[in-house]
Structure 1
Amino acid sequence: MIKKIAAALLLSCSAAAVLAVPMGSQSVLVVEDGTGKILLEKNATDVVPIASLTKLMTAMVVLDSKLDMNEQISIDRQDVDMLKHSTSRVPVGATLSRGEVLQLALMSSDNRAAASLARTFPGGPERFKAAVNAKIRALGMTQTRIDEPTGLSPNNTSTATDLVKMATAAAAYPTITQYTTDTREVINIKGRGVEYHNTNRLVGAKGWDIGLSKTGYTEEAGRCLIMRIKAAGKNATIILLNARANSARIMDALNIRRLITGDGGRATLARATRSAPTSLIKASAGRMTKGKSAAKANNYRKKAAPTKKPRRRRAN
Structure 2
Amino acid sequence: MSLALAFVGTAEAATASKTKVIKAKPAASQVRKVRPVAVRKPVAPAVPTFGMAAGLHAVEDPLALRSSVAYVLDQNTNEVLFSKNPQAVLPIASITKLMTALVVVESGLSMDEKLTVTEDDKDTEKGTGSRLAFGTTLTRGDMLHLALMSSENRAAHALGRNYPGGLDAFVAAMNAKAQSLGMADTHYVEPTGLSSRNQSSAADLAKLVNVTSQVPLLRDLSTSREARVALGKRLVQFRSTNGLLSNPLWDIGLQKTGFINEAGKCLVMQARMAGRQLIMVFLDSSGKASRIADAERMRKWLSEQAVETVPGPATKL
Q: TM-score, normalised by structure 2?
A: 0.76
Contact 1:234 1:260 in 2 (8 A): no
In 2, Cα distance between equivalents of 1:61 and 1:232: 32
| Structure with higher helix content | 1
**Pairwise CA distance, 1:263:** 6.6
Counterpart position of 2:182: 140
In 1, Cα distance between equivalents of 2:245 and 2:139: 24
Contact 2:258 2:267 in 1 (8 A): yes
Contact 2:121 2:154 in 1 (8 A): yes
Amino acid at match of 2:225: T
Alignment of 1:21-36 (within 5 A): 21-36=63-78
1:155 matches 2:200: no
Q: For residues 257-296 of structure 1, give each alpha carbon's deviation from its aligned partner in whole angstroms, at most 9, with x where no partner exists.
A: 11221279xxxxxxxxxxxxxxxxxxxxxxxxxxxxxxxx
Counterpart position of 2:279: 237
Amino acid at match of 1:67: L
Contact 2:206 2:281 in 1 (8 A): yes
Gaps of 5+ in 2: 1-59, 307-317
Contact 1:30 1:40 in 2 (8 A): yes
Q: For residues 51-73 of structure 1, give each alpha carbon's deviation from its aligned partner in whole angstroms, at most 9, with x where no partner exists.
A: 00000000000111000000011
Match of 2:162 among 116, 120, 127: 120
SS of structure 1 residue aligned to 2:208: helix
**Pairwise CA distance, 1:90:** 1.2
**Pairwise CA distance, 1:19:** 4.3
Q: Percent identity?
A: 40
1:94 matches 2:144: no
Match of 1:52 among 70, 86, 94: 94
In 2, Cα distance between equivalents of 1:197 and 1:19: 33
Gaps of 5+ in 1: 1-17, 265-316
In 1, Cα distance between equivalents of 2:269 and 2:90: 18
In 1, Cα distance between equivalents of 2:129 and 2:298: 32
In 2, Cα distance between equivalents of 1:19 and 1:119: 42
**Pairwise CA distance, 1:50:** 0.3
Match of 1:196 among 238, 243, 246: 238
Amino acid at match of 2:228: V
Q: Which runs of 4+ in 1 moved over 3 A?
A: none
Q: For residues 119-178 of structure 1, give each alpha carbon's deviation from its aligned partner in whole angstroms, at most 9, with x where no partner exists.
A: 100110111112112101110000101110000101000100100001101111111110
**Pairwise CA distance, 1:20:** 3.2
Would you say how many aligned residue pairs link Structure 1 and Structure 2?
A: 248
Amino acid at match of 2:214: A
1:80 matches 2:122: yes
